[in-house]
Amino acid sequence: MNFAFLHKYASLMHAYRLSRTLTPWLAGLTLALFAWGLVSGLVFAPADYQQGESFRIMYVHVPSAWMSMFVYVTMAAAGGAALVWKLKLAEIVARACAPLGASFTFLALVTGSLWGKPMWGTWWVWDARLTSELILLFLYLGVMALHGAFDDRRAAARAGAVLSLIGVVNIPIIHFSVEWWSTLHQGATVTKFDKPSIHIDMLIPLLVMIAAFQCYFFWNLLVRVRAQILEYDRNAAWVRELDLPTRA
């Protein structure tokens, strides 16, 4: 099968123009979803009958934990596409994902620790899910280190892609750890759509916050991708044309 069309539609010029079009819309949607989710979750959602008001950290912890895994899969998929089809755009996307994913993972670990202290009586336990989430942070940092360890961007992208693909095995471990091992971490709540273990008044703000984090990721991804495209393709004629109005 001929995959030449991938190179046509994944050209850096087309990606840059698409990013400029989508970024303002994603920014507006992100801000609207955050406003809705935070007000609903922090103000209108009822207090939990066991945890009281402390449960409200869930509206940051759960979305950040979800995004830590989502971004990693996105990064690994982009890295795989770069390895197979030699797509420059895929390399750029994988590189742009790494610091964003590391930030979400760090936020998940910090908020999990803050939530765990009143619930478990300790800031940290070597729980299966917490440990595998910490490993995820190290994987992100490893990918970022590889991206910065080579002068050749293509070689750096290949090395980062290999590590990210190997690390994908950690994603199902994080997700299913509460089912495979005895763990302090609570089991699935949101994904039990047949009978969620969370009241609807708490669930809706949580889903809104997950959508807000998702939009925030794509918004920042496009911004980072656009900046890296300009750096990567800075000698191209179409990039020089973008500067013409500022030099006039």
Cβ atoms of 129 and 33 closer than 8 Å = no
- Residue with tokens 């755009």, as numbered in its chain: 89
pLDDT by residue for the chain (248 residues), tens digit each?
555 666 666 899 999 999 999 999 999 999 999 999 999 999 999 988 778 888 999 999 999 999 999 999 999 999 999 999 999 999 999 999 999 999 999 999 999 999 888 888 888 888 888 999 999 999 999 999 999 999 999 999 999 999 999 999 999 998 887 676 556 555 555 554 455 568 899 999 999 999 999 999 999 999 999 999 999 988 888 888 886 444 43
Show me where the domains of the chain are located.
23-44+54-240
- pLDDT of the residue at 92: 97
Residue 59 burial class via C-beta count within 10 angstroms: exposed 0-12, middle 13-18, buried 19 and up? buried
Name, in order, each residue with C-beta under 8 angstroms of 141's C-beta and a sequence gap of 6 or more. Answer: 102
By C-alpha distance, which of 150, 151, 140, 14 is closest to 79? 140
CB atoms under 10 Å from CB of 229, counted, come to 23
By C-alpha distance, which of 245, 242, 232, 241 is closest to 93? 232
